[in-house]
Amino acid sequence: MVHASCYGDPLQSSIPEGDWFCCRCEKIAENPTCCLCPVKEGAMKPTIDGKWAHILCALFVPEVFFREPEEREGIDCSKVPLRRFEEGCYLCGTKNGSVIDCSEPKCGAKFHVSCALEKDLCVEYREEKRRGIVVGFCEVHTQLWKKV
């Protein structure tokens, strides 16, 4: 299940009549996997370099952007620093995909967006004056954040 506004076109403009398949399901024979995390299922769209990414991973990895934001199309991962792909996730223990850093200063925890969401950690997108920022907290700092 996916929200129409999260997935973008064609769902955002109107609910299609009859059978409708997301981009990933249309290409199921190719077995698309997310280039930003180890999770193999879920709502994905193609990236501009021919890979695939979950909509949520694309929204929450800071350097990823949509070339067509309203439609959630044209996922561009070219600005993601190589270090994000080389460092492991402390939650799942793998280096499959791109990790984000805990937003708590001086905390060295790194994790996949999908792993954080699965563990119900705090991962949010906040609008600032000129741009949006992503904040995400590890288990320890999520617990502290929830107490506030």
Domains of the chain: 4-147 (3.30.40.10)
pLDDT tens per residue across span 60-83? 999 999 998 878 899 999 999 999
The Cβ of residue 118 has, within 10 Å, a number of other Cβ atoms equal to: 13
Lowest mean pLDDT among 22-26, 63-67, 83-87: 22-26
The pLDDT of residue 71 is: 82
Partners of residue 45 on adjacent β-strands: 53
Please name every residue paired with 124 in a beta bridge, in sequence order, or none if there are none: 135
Residue 131, pLDDT score: 72
Pairing of strands 73-76, 123-127: unpaired
If one counts every other C-beta atom within 10 angstroms of the C-beta of residue 29, the result is 6
Q: Higher-confidence residue: 80 or 133?
A: 80
pLDDT-derived band at 31, boundaries 50, 70, 90: confident
